[in-house]
A and B are shown apart, each in its own frame.
Chain A
């Protein structure tokens, strides 16, 4: 963005003595879209923080049920984490492919991202189903309530992301790399990376701290 320093206007504005950085006018659509989406992501992270806070408050409230260290399986969580981190990489590849208008690498990148996301979801789902089967469902204790909600909220976001991802692939297939499709792709990539960051939080606060306790 070009900022022009104009001394000529300065006299019109009594508060400014000397140089004024003139605002150059409305930003481009691409910037506006990305900016708006950033703001949305920030608000989404505020929502996650509430669930984090609830988890922090309730994590000791096991009501005679199991503690975290008794139910978390490190191996599964490790695989989940690897899947998600890798998927962020492939999503980045897909974004680059979209920027250079390369359909093949775009589909490949998105396809792998989708696959990794689905593996993540499957493992998470099995973990949940297993816990419920053992009688450790979310209504067992406040701790499990907070655990299922926090991890489940992230899982829901990933599911929505997968749905969005498939829609993006269909859009590129039907419309090609049109400007609005590219803007949407940029938002999707931001979304997917943000979920990664949230997962790092979940991983540390829930699984690492929980197993250590």
Chain B
């Protein structure tokens, strides 16, 4: 009846996950009860859960990422403490638990923190920068978000029901095959990634179509803000790479569930095929994450330098070059697995070539700052911090791309330091910069600068104190993923790294405090102009938070830095802005499709993990029925009448007028 599921699935003998799970459960229940008792449920349902507004969906993505960041972060703290104390002893985490933690940590950080964070920011901002009302497929957008949430839910469920994979974040076979991992851990891993992967693909298709087909009038390709370009590149990579992940995990699942022989040791299976497939997805994946961050830095650097982006065209070229080259270097992840010197040399050189467009970008940012009027607001701090950090990470990457060096450093702590260097210093710093930069746009008030700066400095310093020791430990020969060790020389570095982790944690806490303080003081931090940073692109042309329809008219773009131009022109024309006729606006109607779909996907995923076949069928039928019901509805749009549009827009215009007159003549 319940497949493999019985009481033994609950880890009564392991206090840590049980207590953690209980705390989370109590927290969730508490929030739910509070929501119901306070009567917020109808509001949540109609304004958020069923919303198809790209801004709301973006905010929900970021919320999901932030919550998962805390979960993944606790895993990280546990691992650092373990390695600090596990010198010539077992530490406090038993091996099988430690293995689950590092697997869950990597999986969560990549798929449920970094991905939703950047996708959330892209969702929130790109339609605004393009001057359009919504993404190409609003309901699908909501489906994509909720499927991502399903994946996150399943991973967290594994904490208390069953176990998680012990195979690392990429589940290499044959370790992940049934004969070596007979439990449900790998199944949890694979199904949650399959489901959230569908969500990611959907988001990718949506954003590619949005950028290519929905741009407002006059928004030629070479007038798009840099963030739109990197969004395009990143989502093209999603569309091209995520199907590879889907296929690879499907093969692994077929091996596990039906006795197929894709990657098994026996009957002719081929493990190297897994390596090739997973890295053909995996290397582009790191650029899927970092390209949007590059876009954010471009926007931030140019805004806070008060200058247009230096070398805009070379920036576009560099972005697209990275997009293409990132598909040609995957093999550098297994130099040591016997491909031979020729292949290694070719892929080594190809990998180093990526450093060229990346370098171009760094120089462009520096030249943008050069001679500009720089303001060191929090987003700018993150951007500058990123440049320093990322140079180190990129250089160590180039070092790893030298095959002989990689033979020494592969799978060592040095590698761990490299990729954290680029992913934290690149993606996460970018996410934070974007968060600080666009928060006033999303909510209409700024974040507290003092706490924001504190958060930056603690995170920045904490980052270096944590990861420089790991580089050193790697060069001293320490391999990654050790549950305990006996080499005295490594120990001090592990202790320093643990201290660094504590500093980093303070940074995260500062950021939470910043949010709380800012919400408390939101009246004094209120920004009525919609343009708190003196921005350059179209998202600043509308009010904060923007109305559902974003823009009362489709903006007409005349050049790069569309909104900057408008401001300059408005001043020259002494504020005479013609007011064209307002028109009715059609907007897509809310829909519970995404939420319901994700509900059935959760049921199905859970049932598949535990081999509860009747429930699988039920979930499948439910999902199909949801789509049919969705396809059957008669009214998928509603109309906002012209007077209402006019009334909303008038307020925005007044605020803007006062802004321009305050700024004085050019």
Give me the interface of A with B, judged by CB distance under 8 Å: 9, 12-15, 20-27, 31-32, 35-36, 39-40, 42-44, 46-47, 50-51, 53-54, 57-58, 61-63, 138-143, 145-146, 148-149, 163, 167, 171, 174-175, 180, 184
* Residues in B neighbouring A12, C-beta threshold 8 A: 558-559, 565
Report which of A42, A50, A174, A175 forms a contact with B239, defined as CB distance below 8 A.
Answer: A42
CB–CB A39/B208 < 8 A: yes
CB–CB A54/B251 < 8 A: yes
Known: A21-B220, A36-B209. A50 touches B244 (CB 8 A): yes
Given contact pairs A36-B205, A163-B624, A171-B631, a sample of 4 additional A-B residue pairs in the complex whose CB atoms are under 8 Å apart: A12-B558, A15-B222, A40-B205, A145-B262
CB–CB A57/B273 < 8 A: yes
| Cβ of B267 under 8 Å from chain A | yes
Known: A12-B565, A44-B243. A54 touches B262 (CB 8 A): yes
**Size bin of chain B's contact surface:** 35 or more
CB–CB B217/A27 < 8 A: no
Q: Complex formed: what's the CA distance from A143 to B269 in Å?
A: 9
Q: How far is the CB of B559 from chain A (nearest CB, A)?
A: 4
CB–CB A139/B260 < 8 A: yes
* Chain A, residue nearest B223 (CB): A13
Bitwise interface map of B from 628 to 639 toward A, beta carbon under 8 Å scored 1, else 0: 100110101000
* Residues in A neighbouring B201, C-beta threshold 8 A: 40, 43
* Residues in B neighbouring A146, C-beta threshold 8 A: 262
CB–CB A43/B136 < 8 A: no
CB–CB B243/A141 < 8 A: no
* Chain A, residue nearest B634 (CB): A175
Q: How far is the CB of B211 from chain A (nearest CB, A)?
A: 11
Known: A36-B137, A139-B267, A140-B267. A31 touches B632 (CB 8 A): no
Q: Complex formed: what's the CA distance from A180 to B633 in Å?
A: 10
For the complex of A and B, the 8 pairs showing the least CB-CB separation, nearest first, are: A61-B268, A142-B268, A50-B247, A47-B243, A25-B217, A139-B259, A46-B243, A36-B209
| Cβ of B206 under 8 Å from chain A | yes
* Residues in A neighbouring B204, C-beta threshold 8 A: 43
Known: A13-B560, A36-B205, A149-B254. A167 touches B628 (CB 8 A): yes
CB–CB A43/B262 < 8 A: no
Give me the interface of B with A, judged by CB distance under 8 Å: 132, 136-137, 201, 204-206, 208-209, 212-223, 239-240, 242-244, 246-248, 251, 254, 258-262, 264, 266-270, 273, 277, 313, 554, 557-560, 565, 624, 628, 631-632, 634, 636
Report which of A43, A50, A180 forms a contact with B636, defined as CB distance below 8 A.
Answer: A180
CB–CB B258/A9 < 8 A: no
CB–CB A50/B267 < 8 A: no
Q: Complex formed: what's the CA distance from A61 to B624 in Å?
A: 38
Q: Complex formed: what's the CA distance from A23 to B217 in Å?
A: 6
* Residues in A neighbouring B634, C-beta threshold 8 A: 175
CB–CB A50/B262 < 8 A: no
Complex A-B: 22 CB contacts under 8 Å:
A9-B218, A9-B558, A12-B558, A22-B218, A22-B220, A23-B220, A25-B216, A26-B216, A26-B554, A27-B214, A32-B209, A43-B204, A43-B240, A44-B243, A46-B244, A54-B273, A58-B268, A58-B273, A61-B270, A149-B254, A163-B624, A167-B628
Report which of A46, A139, A149 forms a contact with B240, defined as CB distance below 8 A.
Answer: A46
CB–CB B205/A39 < 8 A: yes
* Chain B, residue nearest A21 (CB): B220
Q: Complex formed: what's the CA distance from A145 to B255 in Å?
A: 9
Known: A31-B213, A47-B244. A149 touches B239 (CB 8 A): no
Q: Complex formed: what's the CA distance from A58 to B262 in Å?
A: 8
* Residues in A neighbouring B251, C-beta threshold 8 A: 54, 149
Q: Complex formed: what's the CA distance from A57 to B221 in Å?
A: 41
Which of A36, A44, A58, A143 counts the most B-chain CB atoms under 10 A from its CB?
Answer: A36
Q: Complex formed: what's the CA distance from A20 to B167 in Å?
A: 55
Known: A47-B246, A61-B268, A61-B270. A39 touches B209 (CB 8 A): yes
CB–CB A50/B216 < 8 A: no
* Residues in B neighbouring A26, C-beta threshold 8 A: 132, 213-216, 554
* Chain B, residue nearest A138 (CB): B260
* Residues in B neighbouring A57, C-beta threshold 8 A: 270, 273
CB–CB A142/B213 < 8 A: no
CB–CB B248/A14 < 8 A: no
* Residues in B neighbouring A44, C-beta threshold 8 A: 243
CB–CB A167/B215 < 8 A: no
* Residues in A neighbouring B262, C-beta threshold 8 A: 54, 58, 142, 145-146, 149
* Residues in B neighbouring A142, C-beta threshold 8 A: 261-262, 264, 267-270
Q: Complex formed: what's the CA distance from A25 to B137 in Å?
A: 17
CB–CB B220/A20 < 8 A: yes
Report which of B137, B242, B261, B632 forms a contact with A145, defined as CB distance below 8 A.
Answer: B261
Q: Complex formed: what's the CA distance from A171 to B627 in Å?
A: 12
CB–CB A143/B268 < 8 A: yes
* Chain A, residue nearest B262 (CB): A145
Q: Complex formed: what's the CA distance from A163 to B631 in Å?
A: 14
* Residues in B neighbouring A175, C-beta threshold 8 A: 632, 634
Which of A14, A24, A44, A46 counts the most B-chain CB atoms under 10 A from its CB?
Answer: A46
Report which of B214, B269, B557 forms a contact with A32, defined as CB distance below 8 A.
Answer: B214
* Residues in B neighbouring A61, C-beta threshold 8 A: 261, 267-270
* Chain A, residue nearest B312 (CB): A15
Q: Complex formed: what's the CA distance from A63 to B260 in Å?
A: 13
* Residues in A neighbouring B565, C-beta threshold 8 A: 12
CB–CB A145/B260 < 8 A: yes
* Residues in A neighbouring B239, C-beta threshold 8 A: 39, 42-43, 46
* Residues in A neighbouring B244, C-beta threshold 8 A: 46-47, 50
* Residues in B neighbouring A163, C-beta threshold 8 A: 624
